[in-house]
Amino acid sequence: MSGNMNLTLKVWRQKNGGSKGELVTYPVSDISPDMSFLEMFDVLNDQLVTEGKEPIAFDHDCREGICGMCSMHINGHAHGPKDQVTTCQLHMRSFKDGDTIVVEPWRAAAFPVVKDLVVDRSSFDRIIAKGGFISVNTGNAKDANNLPIPKVDADKAFEAAACIGCGACVATCKNSSAMLFVSAKVAQLSLLPQGKAEASQRVLNMVAQMDEEGFGSCTNTGACEVECPKGISIQNIAIMNKEYLKASVVSEQEAQ
Amino acid sequence: MSNKEFLTSSLAKKFVMAATGLFLISFLVVHVSINSLIFLNDGGETFNVAAGFMAHNIIIRIMEIGLFVGLLMHIYQAWILTQENKKARPVQYAVQNETASKWYSRSMGILGSLLLIFLAVHLYNFWYPTKVAVAAGTEHNTYNELKEVFTGELWFVFVPVYILGVVSLGYHLLHGFPSAFQSLGFNHKKYTPLINAIGTGFSIIVPLIFALMPLAFLLGILD
Amino acid sequence: MSKLDSKIPEGPLDKKWEKYKSSVPLVNPANKRSLEIIIVGSGLAGASAAASLAEMGYKVKVFCFQDSPRRAHSIAAQGGVNAAKNYQNDGDSVYRLFYDTIKGGDYRAREANVHRLAEVSGNIIDQCVAQGVPLAREYGGMLSNRSFGGTQVQRTFYAAGQTGQQLLLGAYSALQRQVGLGNVELFARHEMLEVVTIEGKARGIIARNLITGKLERHFGHAVLLGTGGYGNVFFLSTNAMGSNVTAAWKAHKKGAFFGNPCYTQIHPTCIPVSGDHQSKLTLMSESLRNDGRIWVPKKIEDSVAIREGRKKAIDIAEDDRDYYLERRYPAFGNLVPRDVASRAAKERCDAGFGVNKTGEAVYLDFASNMKYKYGKQVAIVKGIHNPTEEQLHAFGKEVVKEKYGNLFDMYKQITGEDPYEMPMMIYPAVHYTMGGIWVDYNLMTTVPGLYALGEANFSDHGANRLGASALMQGLADGYFVIPYTIGAYLSGDIRTKAIPTTHEAFEAAEKEVQARIDKFFAIKGSKPVDYFHKKLGKIMWDKCGMARNEAGLKQAIVEIQQLQKDFWADVRVSGEANELNPELEKAGRVADFLELGELMCVDALHRVESCGGHFREESAETSGEQEGEAKRDDANFMYVGAWEYKGPNTFELHKEELKYEVIKVSQRSYK
C-alpha cells in the first residue's frame, strides 16, 4: 500500500534480570502510518514467532493511554518523540520511511530490567503503600457533600491525580528521580481537606521509601514534566518540598 | 523521623543546596555592588574605601566565615548528590535525546566545578594578598592590584579565566536562582514567573558587571 | 430439578438487604485473623473487596497479572459512576435507579440484587470522596453531576473523562494501605491458572509467577474472582490486551455455572477499525452523543464516493444527509440506548451507507451544536447580533474544546483527522459483557467458597447495562456487599485450619496446569497465537455480534470447534516455560476463549428471543410502530440461562426463573 514505511529497529534484548543485554537490529517493512507503535511491535513479534525466533517482551495493556503499563524509551525519549502521549498512543505517522528507531527499556536502578523492554516498577507500589492514601476504612464515610471542596482545589488535586504511574518521569530524569510521581500523590492528597490530617506522616514516609528504593534526587531540570504523558506539573514537586519542610521542621510527627 | 534522617534524606540535601545557594547569591549582590564602584572612574578611591571596610570590619570578618562554611556545604552536598544520582542509573541509554531540559540545568556539576577553579584563582589573586596585608597591618591598594592582574604581563591568562568564570557563573545562576525557590517549596502561579524573570535578569547582569571589569582595565577605559 | 438457589432473602424488596445485614452471622475478630481469603483481580471489585476485607481483619492475598494492581482495566472507564444521591433535586431515588437498571437490562436481571445495588450506590460516592478521589465539583464546592446514557435524571458522578481511573486509584490506595500494614499480601505479575477444590469447596488456586514461570500453590478459606469481563473473545474490543476469561473459565470448568454468556454490550461510539493490524478498539465517551448528530449519506452513491475518497463529509448537502437515529427514534433521537444505537449503525452500514474505507463507520457530527447552539450562545454573550458562520464555528469550537477537548485530542491522535473540522467517524465495538459466572445473592458461585464480583459475575445488568453502572456495580460488590455476605460462609468455616498446600488436591491441580503448559510447547506448530485469536474474533463478531440468527450461530459453533482443533494442532508457542513469556500467557488465554466462544454461541442459539444486547433476527416485531425492533419473549425466556460444564464441548442448561414482584414488566420503546 502506498504511504507504508520500511524501518530499521534497534531493540534492547536481554534474556533476564541477571544477564547482559544488547541492542539487536530488526528490519520491518510495509508499516502503515495508521498503526500504533505497539501494533508495529505486534507485527514484528508475529514475524519473529513465524521465523522460530523469540518475540520481544514488552509491557502493555489498555492501549488507550491510561493504564500506564507501556514503557518504551524511543529514540532517546520516554514514550517516543511526541509530547503528552504514551507509547501505545504513539502512531507510526510520527515516523518517516527509512527511519532507524532505537528502543530501550526504562533505565533506573529502582526499575531493574526483567526481560527485553520489561522493567520492574514495583518500587512505585511500595512508595504508595507507605502513605499514598487517606486512612479511612470502608463504611466510615460521611455524606460526600458534607465536605465542600473549592473547585480550584478539587481541579488541582485532579490534575495531580491524573498520574498513570508509568515511570516516564524516572526514565527521563538524568538522576532517575521519582519526585514527580511521588509529589503528584502527595500534592493530590494534601490539597484536599480529607488528606490534611495525615499530611506530615504521609510525606515523611513516602520520601523515606523513595530514598530507600534507590531513586536519585531532583535537580529541577524539569525534563519529567515535559516527557510526562499526562502533563503532571513540577509545581507538585514544590508542593511536596513545602509539605516536607513543614513536616520536618514544624510538625512533631516522625516517619515510621 | 529523627533529626539525623532529616539531614540525610534526599529532600533535606536539596534544602541545603537551595539555602546555601541563596546565601551565596546574597553575597554576590554585595560583591557586585562594591565592584561597581570601580566604574566611578575615580582612580579607585571610593572602591578602595569600600574594599578596606570589607577587609577590616569585624562583623564582615565573622560573616566571611559563614560564607566559607556555606560554600563548603554547597560543594559537599553537591558532591554527595552527584554520586547518589549517578548510582541511580547504573546503565546509561544508548540514545538520550536531551530536548526536554536545558543543557545548563543538566550541567550544574560541571559549571560548579569550573566556578570552583575560577574561585581558586580569584582567591589567590585578591583575597590572599589582602589577608596577608591585613595580618601584617600594611596599607593595601586593591584597585592597583586589579589593574596589575588584568593589565600585567599575565593578562592573557587571567582575563580569559575571569571571563570564562563569570560565564559559568551566569549559567549556574540561570538554573540555580529559580531552582532554589522550587526546592524550598515555592512555586506559585502568580509569583513564579516573576522570580524566573528576576533570576534571568540577575544571571545576566551580575556576571556582565563582573566581566566588564577586566575588559575595562584591559581596554584602558579605566585608568 | 434446578440446582440453582439464588438465596434471595424473604421480605419486602426494599427491606431485604437491611434485614439481611442485621441477621447475617458474624465472624469474631480473633477468628478473622486465621481466615485466609484469596482475591484474583485488582480492579474496582477486587481491590475494593481486598481493602475492605483486610480492614475487617481477614488475611488477604491479592493476585493480578499486571505489574501493579493499579493497572487493572477498570482504569479505562471514562464516563462516570451512577448513584441515587438526588443532589440535583431532580426526583432521583433508590427506587428510580433500581427501576432504570432493571428496565435498561430489558427485564433480565434479578430484582433483589439490583435493588441492593441502588441502595448502596450512595455509599460508594461517600467512600470515594473520603478516600480523596477528586470527583468533579461546582464552584460552590459541591459535587457535580451529569446525565448519562439518556436517563431523565442527573445522577452520574465523574472526574473529567477519567472516572474509572480515579475510582480505581482510590481503591488501589486503600489496598496499598493494607499491603503496607501487612494485612494484604500482594502477588503482581501472577496469573491464576486453576481453582483448587477440596471436598467440593474452593480452597485455593494455582498461580503462575509470570516472571519466573514457577507454578505456585496458594490456600484460601474462600476464593474471590474479580477478574472482569470476556469481551476479548472478539479479539477486537475496547478491553485491555490482557483482559481475559481464564480465571472465570477455570472456575466454570471446576463447577461454577456460567450465566447468560451471550449477553454482550456493543458500544456505539468507538473509533472504527483502520486496518488488519488493529489490536484493539478505542471508545469515545458516550457523552459525545449529547452534542453530536449521527448520520450517513442519504444517497448510496455519496457513500461510495466517500469510501473511494472522491468526496468528503462536508461535501454532502444538509438535505442529502440521513440522520437515521432522529428519523427512526424521534423521541430519543441520538440518545437511544447503546444496543439500539449500535444496531441502527450496523443496519445502515450493512445496507451500503458506511463512510470509511472498510464501509463500517458512520458520522458523529458536532458542527450543528458547535455553531448553532454553543456558537450562538457565545455570540449573544459577546453582543454580536449577526455573527458570520466562521465566527460561530470559532466560538463554538472553544466551548466544545472545554467540554470534550481530551477526547477530541485522542481521536486526532489515533486517526490523524481533526474532529473540529471534520465529523468524527464511529462504529460500534464490543465493550462489556453482562454475562459471567452465575452467583447467588451472596455473590457465591455454584462452588461453595468461590465468589465472583464485578463484571466477572453475570451481574445486575440483565441483558444490557446502562452507562455509568459498571463502576457502580464493581465498587458495590467489593466495598459494601461481599464484606457482609462472605460472613455467611466463613462463619461456618472458623474451625477449618489452613490446609497445607501439599494436599493431594493442590498436587493434582498443579500437575494439570503443568501438563497443559507442556502441551503448548509440544505442539511446535506454525502459527502464532494471535492468528487463532483473530479468526475466533471474526467468527464471533460476524455470527454472535450485534445480530444473531440460528443458521449463523450453528455455523459458528462448527467453525469454532474446528478452530479449537486447529489451535491444538498448529499453534506455535516460542520461548520457555520458566521465564517471562507473553506468548505462553496469550496461548493459555486464547485456548480458554476458544471454549468460551462456543458456549456463547450455544447460549445465543438457545435464546430464541431478542433482549437487550442479544438481538435474534428471528425475534423482531413484524408490524406496527415497532416494526424491525427487538421482540422479547417473556413467556418462554424470562430466566437466567446458567450453563454447567459437562466435559469438552458439552454444556447443560439450568434456568433461574426471574420473578418481578415490584416492577411491572413492559416493552422498551424509544420511538
Q: What is the ipTM of this complex?
A: 0.97
Which distant-in-sequence residues (6+ apart) come within 8 Å of B137 by Cβ? Answer: none
Contact A35 C165 (CB under 8 A): no
- Closest to B15 (Cβ–Cβ): which among A110, A216, A245? A245
Task: Compute the distance between CA of residue C114 and CA of residue C645 in angstroms, rounded to an integer.
Answer: 27
Q: CATH top-level class for C522-637? A: mainly alpha
Contact A174 B89 (CB under 8 A): yes
Domains A5-115 and A122-250 share a fold: no
What is the distance in angstroms between the CA of the first residue and the CA of the last residue of chain B? Answer: 60
- From C413's Cα to the closest Cα of chain A, the distance in A is 7
At residue A256, the pLDDT reads: 66
The type of residue at C370 is: M
Contact A221 B182 (CB under 8 A): no
At residue C1, the pLDDT reads: 41
In the stretch 160-219 of chain B, residues with CB closer than 8 A to chain A read 175, 178-179, 182-187, 189
Which distant-in-sequence residues (6+ apart) come within 8 Å of A178 by Cβ? Answer: A110, A123, A124, A127, A169, A170, A210, A213, A215
At residue B64, the pLDDT reads: 92
- Closest to C67 (Cβ–Cβ): which among A43, A49, A121? A121
pTM beyond 0.90, yes or no: yes
Nearest to C98 by CA among C21, C164, C155: C155
Which subunits count as partners of chain C given 3+ CB pairs below 8 Å?
A
Q: Give the pLDDT confidence of A176-224 residue by residue, as tens digits.
A: 999 999 999 999 999 999 999 999 999 999 999 999 999 999 999 999 9
CA geometry: angle B164, B166, B171, nearest 5 deg: 95
Contact B96 A216 (CB under 8 A): no
Cell numbers at residue A75, please? 529514540
Structural domains of chain B ordered from first start: 3-218 (1.20.1300.10)
**Which residues of chain B carry a pLDDT beneath 50?**
1-2
In the stretch 115-154 of chain A, residues with CB closer than 8 A to chain B read none
Count of A–B CB contacts within 8 Å?
A: 137
Q: Searching chain C, which residue's CA lies closest to the CA of residue A82?
A: C413
- From C82's Cα to the closest Cα of chain A, the distance in A is 14
Q: Searching chain A, which residue's CA lies closest to the CA of residue B180?
A: A220
Which distant-in-sequence residues (6+ apart) come within 8 Å of B4 by Cβ? Answer: none
Nearest to C277 by CA among A246, A75, A43, B139: A43
Options 3.10.580.10, 3.40.50.1370, 3.90.700.10, 2.90.10.10; CATH for C270-428 is 3.90.700.10
- From A21's Cα to the closest Cα of chain B, the distance in A is 11
Residue C141 backbone class (left: φ over 0; alpha: ψ -120 to 50; beta: rest) = left
Contact A219 B182 (CB under 8 A): no
Question: Are the CB atoms for C616 and C610 separated by under 8 Å?
Answer: yes
Cβ contacts (< 8 Å) between C165 and chain A: which residues? 66, 162, 164
Cβ contacts (< 8 Å) between A208 and chain B: which residues? 1, 5, 9
- From A139's Cα to the closest Cα of chain B, the distance in A is 32
Rounded to whole angstroms, what are the CA distances from A55 to A13, A61, B34, C576? 10, 17, 68, 12
Domains C13-263+434-490 and C522-637 share a fold: no
Cell numbers at residue C216, please? 505456585
- Closest to C274 (Cβ–Cβ): which among A34, A66, A155? A34
At residue A196, the pLDDT reads: 94
* Domain residue limits, chain A: 5-115, 122-250
**CB of B5 less than 8 A from some CB of A:** yes
**CB of A77 less than 8 A from some CB of B:** yes
Contact A138 C483 (CB under 8 A): yes
Which subunits count as partners of chain B given 3+ CB pairs below 8 Å?
A
Which distant-in-sequence residues (6+ apart) come within 8 Å of C281 by Cβ? Answer: C236, C237, C238, C270, C271, C273, C429, C430
- Closest to A75 (Cβ–Cβ): which among B12, B97, B184? B97
Task: Compute the distance between CA of residue C567 and CA of residue C526 in angstroms, rounded to an integer.
Answer: 10
**CB of A241 less than 8 A from some CB of B:** yes
Q: How many CB atoms lie within 10 A of CB C200?
A: 10
Question: Are the CB atoms for C193 and C208 separated by under 8 Å?
Answer: yes
DSSP 8-class letter at B191: T
Cβ contacts (< 8 Å) between B100 and chain A: which residues? 77, 172, 221-223, 226-227
**CB of A75 less than 8 A from some CB of B:** yes
Q: Give the pLDDT confidence of A102-157 residue by residue, as tens digits.
A: 999 999 999 999 999 999 999 999 999 999 999 999 998 999 999 999 999 999 99
Q: Which of B3, B4, B6, B10 to mutate against chain A (most A CBs within 10 Å)?
A: B10
Does A have 3 or more CB contacts under 8 Å with B?
yes
Residue C14: Cβ-neighbour burial (10 angstroms; 0-12, 13-18, 19+): middle
Task: Compute the distance between CA of residue C565 and CA of residue C648 in angstroms, rounded to an integer.
Answer: 12
Task: Compute the distance between CA of residue A109 and CA of residue B218 in angstroms, rounded to an integer.
Answer: 52
Question: Are the CB atoms for C103 and C94 separated by under 8 Å?
Answer: no
Backbone angles phi and psi of C447, in degrees to 5: -100, 115
Task: Compute the distance between CA of residue A35 and CA of residue A90 in angstroms, rounded to an integer.
Answer: 9
Contact B100 A222 (CB under 8 A): yes
Q: Searching chain B, which residue's CA lies closest to the CA of residue A213?
A: B88
**CB of B13 less than 8 A from some CB of A:** yes
The type of residue at C671 is: K
- From A67's Cα to the closest Cα of chain B, the distance in A is 24
- From C261's Cα to the closest Cα of chain A, the distance in A is 23
At residue C147, the pLDDT reads: 83
Rounded to whole angstroms, what are the CA distances from C63 to C211, C223, C298, C339? 14, 11, 52, 34
User: In the CATH scheme, what is the code of domain A5-115?
Assistant: 3.10.20.30
Task: Compute the distance between CA of residue C417 and CA of residue C274 in angstroms, rounded to an integer.
Answer: 13
pLDDT at A1 over 60: no
Yes or no: is domain A122-250 CATH 1.10.3210.10? no
Question: Are the CB atoms for C482 and C20 separated by under 8 Å?
Answer: no
Q: What is the mean pLDDT of each run of 10 residues along chain C (671 residues)?
A: 84 96 94 96 98 98 98 94 96 96 95 98 98 94 86 90 95 98 98 98 98 98 98 97 98 98 96 90 88 94 94 94 95 87 94 93 94 91 91 91 85 91 95 97 98 95 93 98 97 95 98 98 96 98 96 98 98 95 98 98 98 94 86 96 97 97 87 75
- From A6's Cα to the closest Cα of chain C, the distance in A is 15
Q: How many CB atoms lie within 10 A of CB A250?
A: 9
The type of residue at B214 is: P
Count of A–C CB contacts within 8 Å?
A: 228
At residue B2, the pLDDT reads: 47
Contact B179 A239 (CB under 8 A): no
Q: CATH top-level class for C13-263+434-490? A: alpha beta
